[in-house]
Structure 1
Amino acid sequence: MSSDDQAWVPESCTLPTVERPLRLAEFDDLFATALLEQQQLSPTQLRWRLDRDAETAARDLTGRESSCCSFFTFTFAGDTDALRLDVQVPAAHIDVLDALAQRAAARMTT
């Protein structure tokens, strides 16, 4: 993990530093294999459309992320052809959401 990868991790994150590259790699894998579309609904909210086959992995990953970065709110809903995942943060963490959105866009399946 580069220092740029660490730059947007907030101080409130309780995930041990040594585990952060692994968690980031899990998000990268989800984006590369399952992310179909990303929408910025507001400065504090993203919407991801994921391949339905990734639901178990996405729920597990976001559950673990919520436990170390409690400012994230992840909400799942089913669309007819995809899994919808809304990601929301308080205004104080817009920079974290922006960094996550950029990372997702760079790795999204096409």
Structure 2
Amino acid sequence: MSDRLVTTDDSWVPDACTLPTAERPLRLAEFDQFFRSAVRAADRLSAQLLRLRLAGGVQVEETARDLTARESSCCSFFAFDISRSGPDALTLDVRVAAAHVDVLDSLANRAATAAGSR
């Protein structure tokens, strides 16, 4: 696994995140790996909504569900919705309240950078 997108600078992570500080770089690395392997496109539908178009495989969906469930448990300001409209059409919507748009900005940048590095 490449760590070129992993950063220990989590200054954009809000105080509302309850993930222990020592575990944050590992979670970021998990997201970066997921973004590199699964994200096909990232569309910012509004300031508070990011839509990620994912590879449609079953394993991608399982990974997305696991990762977003764990993230929701420590960062309740995220709302994740995974949907499938066809065998190869999987989307992950990420929503935040207006107070956390900067966090979504950072997540969107990570997703776009990782997807572009393929």
Alignment TM class, shorter chain as reference: over 0.9
CA RMSD of aligned residues (A): 1.1
Gaps of 5+ in 1: none
The structure 2 residue matched to 1:2, chosen from 5, 8, 28, is 8
CA displacement, residues 9-47 of structure 1 (integer Å, 9 cap, x when unaligned): 000100001110110000000110000011001000000
Q: Which moved more, 1:59-68 or 1:80-89?
A: 80-89
Runs of 4+ displaced beyond 3 Å: none
Q: Tell me what 2:95 maps to.
A: 88
| Residues 14-53 of structure 1: pairs in structure 2 closer than 5 A | 14-53=18-57
The structure 1 residue matched to 2:71, chosen from 43, 49, 65, is 65
Q: What is the distance in 1 between the residues matched to 2:111 and 2:92?
A: 13
AA aligned opposite 1:61: L
Q: What is the distance in 2 between the residues matched to 1:40 and 1:88?
A: 10
SS of 2:34 mapped into structure 1: helix
Q: Tell me what 2:3 maps to.
A: none
TM-score, L = length of structure 1 = 0.93
Gaps of 5+ in 2: 1-6
The structure 2 residue matched to 1:78, chosen from 79, 84, 101, is 84
Q: What is the distance in 1 between the residues matched to 2:18 and 2:8?
A: 19
Q: CA deviation at 1:79?
A: 2.7
| Residues 89-104 of structure 1: pairs in structure 2 closer than 5 A | 89-104=96-111
Q: What is the distance in 1 between the residues matched to 2:80 and 2:8?
A: 26
Q: CA deviation at 1:64?
A: 0.3
